[in-house]
Amino acid sequence: MLTTIKEVSGHVGKEIKLGGWLYNKRSSGKIQFLQLRDGTGFIQGILVKNQVSPEVWERANNLTQESSLYVWGVVREDSRAPSGYELDVTNLEIIQIAEEYPIAKKEHGVDFLMDHRHLWIRSPRQRAILAIRAEIIRAIQGYLDTNGFTLVDPPILTPSSCEGTTNLFHTKYFDEDAFLTQSGQLYMEAAAMALGKVYSFGPTFRAEKSKTRRHLIEFWMIEPEMAFVDHEGNLKIQEELVAHVVQQVLANCEQELKTLGRDLSALEKVKAPFPRITYDEAVELLHREGFTDFTWGDDFGAPHETKIAESFDRPVFITHYPTEVKAFYMKPDPNRPEVVLCADLIAPEGYGEIIGGSQRIDDPELLKQRYEEHHLPLEAYQWYLDLRKYGTVPHSGFGLGLERTVAWICGLDHVRETIPFPRMLNRLYP
């Protein structure tokens, strides 16, 4: 029976057996220090020459990086150890002496590391990111499940697209043409009319030839959609959700955040409510800050978002964008139809937009008008119009980009490290 490194705190003073890999090793003649990993964490094993058999000492001597082994040892608390524990090794068995490991201690270029992504994810930093990613997903699902949402899986293969057919991956679907989804939103609206509050968690695709540090070709979105929730209610759920996620990661991933050297004080401030400014106010702010050529009606780019975020110590909502820069399904503000009841949530510290959301058009006539203005074929979108013909209700929703959220919470320069096997321009392997 194996004990995991994550569980050692429950075995202080007892002998345990670990299964794992040698991550690193150093020696001072009569003592060998083995950095061990087993996927659940890292621990240092101490091997004292005159306390183990010559065979065991010799086996330890032969270990190369990433060699696999079983280790027996007694758990000892040690406040100097990063994890708080060490293992006094009593025995070890080699499973395999690893060939020379390609990812050595020296610096490697990103392309080299990405070519070896299947191995790179074993490193403390990459493991920490993936563990935090999983905790973020768990926190999102936990929040939504306890707040009356039902998980619904919208289709990946779709006959048409939510926001135009450019940037879509195409595939033959037997005799038809299909596209990989960019967003499950329209389907989620149908689901909200059946189940009330729903959310999706799945992959989405954009065939964009962009190479920025905020873009992936294949990325995961969480898309909640809620019947009988208006713009105001929509924002409230978003800020509660995001604050909940950040606080849960702080509570459960202390070790991983430390590994990443993340500034915790910035995260600790992330509590609801979040500040809100209108698009109009954001434009004024940009003008004051020197972006004098930014014109009302333009969409914000990364430098604009970063500048706006600098004024706040937590995520900030930008609300009421011009109707023309936003998607066809957003509900106009009844008091001012040139703007829509929408909000983007901009993360602090320059991480950009992590949520886009809005109240949806509920008036069938207005929606039909939008189809015409946006040249959307009625035949393909008839079913979406049906949602407004058979008991339309006020409803709202949003999409949270998982990878950008992970990048922000982990404090990463680039989204490519936020997902196990990133898909980017020129990157489809492994």
Q: Of 315-374, which residues contact Mg ion (CB under 5 A)?
A: 344, 353
Residue 161 Cβ vs a copy of itself, minimum distance, rounded to whole Å: 13
Q: Does the footprint of a copy of itself cover residue 92 (CB under 8 A)? A: no
The residue within the footprint of a copy of itself, chosen from 147, 247, 252, 392 (CB under 8 A), is: 392
Q: Does the footprint of a copy of itself cover residue 334 (CB under 8 A)? A: no
Residues between 283 and 322 that touch a copy of itself (CB under 8 A): none
Give the one entry of a copy of itself, Mg ion, none that residue 235 binds, where binding means its C-beta sits below a cut-off of 5 to 8 angstroms depending on kind.
none
H/E element, 239: helix 231-252
Give the one entry of a copy of itself, Mg ion, none that residue 152 binds, where binding means its C-beta sits below a cut-off of 5 to 8 angstroms depending on kind.
a copy of itself
Our CB check for a copy of itself shows the closer of 42 and 279 to be 42
**Helix 378-389 crosses helix 185-195 at what angle (to 10 degrees)?**
30
Residues between 66 and 105 that touch Mg ion (CB under 5 A): none
Rounded CA gap, 316 and 310, in Å? 10
Q: Does the footprint of a copy of itself cover residue 256 (CB under 8 A)? A: no
Rounded CA gap, 16 and 1, in Å? 9
Contact segment (CB under 8 A) with a copy of itself among 261-269, 309-317, 319-327, 386-394 equals 386-394
Our CB check for Mg ion shows the closer of 344 and 417 to be 344
In the numeric block, which tokens belong to residue 405?
Answer: 């959220």
The residue within the footprint of a copy of itself, chosen from 27, 171, 311, 369 (CB under 8 A), is: 171
Our CB check for a copy of itself shows the closer of 145 and 284 to be 145
Contact segment (CB under 8 A) with a copy of itself among 134-142, 238-246, 271-279, 304-312 equals 134-142
Kindly list the distances between the CA atom of residue 320 and the CA atoms of 279, 346, 395, in Å, as whole numbers in the listed order. 6, 14, 17
Give counts: helices (H), strands (E), the chain. 13, 18
In the numeric block, which tokens belong to residue 78?
Answer: 């040690």
Rounded CA gap, 100 and 254, in Å? 32
The residue within the footprint of a copy of itself, chosen from 12, 31, 110, 157 (CB under 8 A), is: 157
Rounded CA gap, 52 and 416, in Å? 44
Q: What does the chain come to in residues? A: 430
In the numeric block, the tokens 């973020």 are attached to 136
